[in-house]
């Protein structure tokens, strides 16, 4: 009987995990729907299996496709301004929600400003989003927020 219960739990957990991944895939697909690597809109971003795995696993050493997917997600949710700088007015409420208001807004504003300075010269959209993500996570980590 115990083995049966354990097997049922494993199946339920596996189904829940698969549903979560399916939900994430839908978000990712919606984000890349009209997203391009270049200003001329000639290089459409598609979701690859490796790119999706990097996103789902939160990989910090992302492949090119995952970097581009991140760009699309950030752009779709207005975390980038039209000039592809970090959009403070959208990022602050996003992080307030994500971290239950545990980050001081002034501190977050300074992180956004510092990271905008870091990414300003990068013209490649995918690399720029990767640099922005890495910078923000590094600055939050340096300020004591671990395991993010």
| pLDDT tens for each residue of 1-19 | 444 334 433 433 444 545 5
Residue that is written with structure tokens 């602050």 in the block: 92
54 contact partners, CB below 8 Å, separation of at least 6: 62, 63, 65, 66
User: Residue 4's pLDDT is what?
Assistant: 36
User: Residue 75's pLDDT is what?
Assistant: 92
> How many CB atoms are located within 10 Å of the residue 43 CB?
13
Task: Output the CA torsion 63→66→71→74 (10° steps).
Answer: -140
- How long a stretch of residues is the chain? 148
CA distance 57 to 1: 34
CA distance 132 to 85: 9
User: Residue 147's pLDDT is what?
Assistant: 63
Domain ranges for the chain, please list them. Answer: 1-76, 78-148
User: Residue 119's pLDDT is what?
Assistant: 97
User: Residue 85's pLDDT is what?
Assistant: 95
Spans of the chain below 50 pLDDT: 1-15, 17
User: Residue 32's pLDDT is what?
Assistant: 86
> How many CB atoms are located within 10 Å of the residue 67 CB?
23
């Amino acid at each position: 009987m115990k083995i049966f219960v354990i097997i049922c739990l494993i199946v339920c957990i596996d189904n829940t995990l698969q549903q979560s991944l399916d939900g994430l895939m839908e978000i990712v697909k919606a984000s890349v729907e009209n997203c391009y690597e270049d200003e001329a809109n000639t290089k459409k971003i598609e979701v690859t299996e490796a790119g999706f795995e990097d996103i789902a696993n939160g990989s910090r050493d992302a492949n090119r496709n995952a970097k581009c997917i991140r760009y699309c997600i950030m752009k779709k949710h207005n975390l980038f301004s039209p000039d592809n700088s970090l959009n403070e007015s959208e990022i602050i409420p996003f992080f307030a929600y994500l971290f239950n208001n545990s980050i001081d807004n002034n501190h977050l504003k300074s992180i956004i400003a510092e990271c905008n300075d870091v990414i300003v010269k990068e013209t490649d959209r995918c690399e720029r989003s990767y640099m922005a993500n890495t910078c923000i996570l590094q600055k939050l980590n340096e300020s004591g927020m671990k395991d993010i």
